[in-house]
Amino acid sequence: MKVDLFNYTIERLKEIGVSIDDMAELVMEVQKKYYDDITIEECRHHVLSVLKKREVQHTVITGLELDRLAKEGVVEEPLLSILRRDEPLYGVDEILALGITNVYGTIGLTNFGYLDKVKPGVIAELNNKKREGVHTFADDLVAAIVAAACSRLAHSKRSDFTEEDE
């Protein structure tokens, strides 16, 4: 594959106003009560490691592209209206998020659900910016990336962890 999917994914997230630092700060916020010595640099590292996974890249760009296509209005009805109003019974955004969260094991599920409900920081901003675009997938995808980075961080704290393991 010629295209650099890692950088492309980071670009797409930036376009919707989400930076690596935004996500690293959320990891810090969720995890600092368990590990009081973590640094923002460490959190950035785990966010970047999550984004290096091919599975995560594929899932993020598919969800963000669906948001963009819905904003452009080229998605057929009735799906267009479902995506535009972020219909509460529509669960495909959560399914995609699950594909990201599980990459570092199911302990990420709890953090995903919490972030998706409480919507701290940039996740709330995505949710509030809905007039400017469609962010049906975006908020769940960002919550999932943060949750997966939290899981990776938790795994990295065990004594026998090596970067190669994960």
Binding residues for a copy of itself (CB under 8 A): 1, 3, 5, 8, 34, 52-55, 58-59, 61-62, 65-66, 68-69, 72, 74-79, 82, 88-92, 94-99, 102-107, 109-118, 154-155, 158-160, 163-166
Residue closer to a copy of itself, measured from CB, 122 or 147: 147
Residue closer to a copy of itself, measured from CB, 40 or 161: 161
Helix (H) or strand (E) holding 99: helix 92-101
Residue 58 C-beta: closest distance to a copy of itself, Å: 5
Residue 129 C-beta: closest distance to a copy of itself, Å: 20
Residue 15 C-beta: closest distance to a copy of itself, Å: 11
49 closest CA partner among 144, 163, 139, 141: 163
Residue closer to a copy of itself, measured from CB, 45 or 122: 45
Residue closer to a copy of itself, measured from CB, 43 or 60: 60
Provide long-range contacts, Cβ within 8 A and 24+ apart, for 89-98. Answer: 90/136, 93/63, 93/136, 93/137, 93/139, 93/140, 93/141, 94/140, 96/59, 96/62, 96/63, 96/137, 96/140, 96/141, 96/144, 97/140, 97/141, 97/143, 97/144, 98/144
Q: The dihedral of CA 54, 110, 166, 11: what is its sign?
A: positive
Residue 91 C-beta: closest distance to a copy of itself, Å: 4
What DSSP character marks residue 37? T
